[in-house]
Amino acid sequence: MLGLLLASLFTLVELNCENLFDYTHDEGRNDNEFLPASPRKWDKGKYWRKVNGIAQEIIACGGDGEEWTLPDLVALTEVENDSVMHDLTTRSPLRNAGYQYVMTNSDDERGIDVALLYSPFSFRLIDSHAMRVTPPQGKHYTRDILYAKGLTGVTDTLHVFVVHAPSRVSGAKATQPYRLRVAQRIVDAIDSIHNTSPEASIVVAGDFNDLDDGGMVDMVMQHQMKHISRYAKGRNGARGTYKHQGKWGSLDHILVSDNISNRLHDCCILDAPFLIEEDEKYGGVKPFRTYIGKKYHRGYSDHLPLIARWEL
């Protein structure tokens, strides 16, 4: 009975990889901080530790024991380029998983992109493309939004948007208009899908760089989407995907259309022991990150992954 239940569940993972850069320079991109000669001293050894660590993290998102199964979809943010994704899918512990991927090639100043890993056995890709967001005059382009459409059953079509919205580095309020531009691009696409297919299955996942209340999340929810990750928690102390100055919050979100939320099995944060460490300053635990400032910390990411499972 358990095997039948698990076989009928579809799993999506969302993960910010915390600067999954290779160690060579991409012409025209400001990736200088992730090169061997940079203050971070990012080199081949650190790169491969990072790639293998992200692979280990994705595998762990499939559960444990007899319940384990590889995720069907993995929405990744903060990945540099195609060569990184090639290494992740063909030269890491994921090499036998059979994952394929699609990704953006944005005009982001640092060369940061988003990607979607998918199992061709459970998600048969029909179409994918990047959605560019026009910046305000005089501002740099942000990351493109990735759109992918595929079949999850014989005739069940799933529309997926992977997003990494502009950061809050200059302050949440000052940068909010840039994130709302991204949200507008997404909701225009959602409305277009609903106009032709009112019962369409839609997922929006990624790093919104906005917390649970207000901003991008509320704007997307106003277009027949449910925020299924709002109350997601971990089993080992995580109360969000990200911790800043001792306070848990979630910049990462998964929003889905009504017909998926009605079939939701669970949505949680993976805070497996190898992904967290003791927070000596503020108490509790925190994500085991790759860098603290410019100091190499040997961890996985400053974000924890979200896992959503729903019945097919």
What tens digit of pLDDT does each residue of 283-305 get?
A: 999 999 999 999 999 999 999 99
> What is the pLDDT averaged over residues 201-216?
91
Cα dist. 285→124, 205, 234, 241 in Å? Answer: 39, 25, 11, 12
Q: Quick one: pLDDT at residue 168?
A: 84
- Which residue from 204, 214, 276 is spatially nearest to 241, judged by alpha carbons? 276
Q: Quick one: pLDDT at residue 297?
A: 98
> What is the pLDDT averaged over residues 198-224?
93
CB 227 within 8 A of CB 221: yes
Q: Quick one: pLDDT at residue 223?
A: 96
User: Is pLDDT above 90 for 250?
Assistant: yes
User: Is pLDDT above 70 for 3?
Assistant: no
Determine the Cα–Cα distance for residues 299 and 310; give it in Å rounded to an integer: 30
> What is the pLDDT averaged over residues 40-67?
95
User: Is pLDDT above 80 for 138?
Assistant: no
Q: Quick one: pLDDT at residue 5?
A: 47
Q: How confident is the model at residue 65 (pLDDT cuts 50, 70, 90)?
A: confident
Sheet holding 157-164, edge to edge: 124-131, 145-151, 157-164, 201-207, 252-257, 225-227
Q: How confident is the model at residue 137 (pLDDT cuts 50, 70, 90)?
A: confident
Q: What are the backbone angles phi and psi of residue 173, rounded to the nearest 5°? A: -70, -40
Higher pLDDT, 304 or 67: 304
> What is the pLDDT averaged over residues 158-164?
98
> What is the pLDDT averaged over residues 101-123?
95
| Rg from Cα positions in the chain | 18
Q: What are the backbone angles phi and psi of residue 114, rounded to the nearest 5°? A: -120, 155
Q: How confident is the model at residue 22 (pLDDT cuts 50, 70, 90)?
A: very high
